[in-house]
Structure 1
Amino acid sequence: MGWLKRLFGLEKSENAQVNPQPQSLPQATSSTATATQTILPERLGLNGEYDESGLAKRVALAFDQDSQIDDINTLWVAQTGSTVVLKGKVPNQDILKKMVNVARSVNGTNAVDTTQVSIE
């Protein structure tokens, strides 16, 4: 099935990227119509849009794109701010280490929390 589909119910769109360029958001000020603000890296969605769960979705996409990481249906990906949170069970420590390295490579990840992961 894939990480993105299983965790978020999303099919990978053709423009989806692990590290997309952020879109500009209009700023809520009346002084200028051209003012923009940048989306925080952890809130950046798959296509550069604002997404509250953007980092977790981009990590799931990165897992899907890594041929060494299979979809593990006993593991979930979440985020708390710029921290990627992995929860559940993995078959072995080597797979967990690989997943942590992939998650760290995603723009906006400041830490990866594995305290809620157990090794089967």
Structure 2
Amino acid sequence: MGWLQRLFGMEKPENAQVNPEPTLVAENSAEGETIPIERMGLNGEYDQSGLAKRVALAFDEDRRFDSINTIYVAQLGTKVVLRGKVPDADTLSQLAEVAAGVSGATEVATNEVTVG
């Protein structure tokens, strides 16, 4: 079971992207207001949990994390929060690095992850 399925109960949408292009909040908006990057969903749409879902997608796309099913992803604004347990510090470092590479992530909190 993939990350998106396990964490959010959804299959990967057809054109899902880890770092989609920003889209306008309203096409008729005179201001050209865009969706905040941390609220951008898998296809550029507004999604309250957009950053967390895009991090889960990034983990799905990285084969190194296929066997990990004890980590959970949340977001607090632009901060990605990882919770759970990993087998070793290298894996935690790799997860944090991938999460930090997702557009909109300004910080990755790993203090709620147990190593070992």
What TM-score, normalized by structure 1, do the two folds share? 0.91
Confirm or deny that 1:67 pairs with 2:67: no
Shift of 1:25: 1.1
**C-alpha distance in structure 1 between counterparts of 2:21 and 2:52, whole Å:** 17
Q: How big is the shift at 1:71?
A: 4.4
1:60 offset after TM fit, Å?
0.2
Question: Per-residue deviation at 1:34?
Answer: 3.6
Q: Secondary structure at the match of 2:63?
A: coil
- For 1:65 and 1:53, locate their aligned partners in 2 and report how far apart those are by CA, in whole Å: 18
* 2:25 corresponding residue in structure 1: 25
Distance in 1 between the 2:31 and 2:112 partners?
42
Which TM-score applies when normalising by structure 2? 0.94
Aligned twin of 2:79: 83
Residue by residue over 1:6-60, the C-alpha shift from the partner in whole angstroms, topping out at 9 and shown as x without a partner, is 0001100111000011221128xxxx85443111111110000011100000000
Structure 1: gaps of 5 or more residues: none
Gaps of 5+ in 2: none
**Superposition CA RMSD, Å:** 1.5
Q: Which residue of structure 2 lines up, in the alignment, with residue 57 of structure 1?
A: 53
Name which of 108, 113, 116 aligns with 1:117: 113
Equivalence for 1:39? 35
The answer (yes or no) to whether the contact 1:56–1:79 under 8 Å persists in 2 is yes
For residues 65 and 81 of structure 1, the distance between their equivalents in structure 2, rounded to whole angstroms, comes to 23
- Rounded to whole Å, the distance in 2 between the matches of 1:96 and 1:33 is 42
Which has the higher Rg, Structure 1 or Structure 2? 1
Provide the aligned length of Structure 1 versus Structure 2.
116
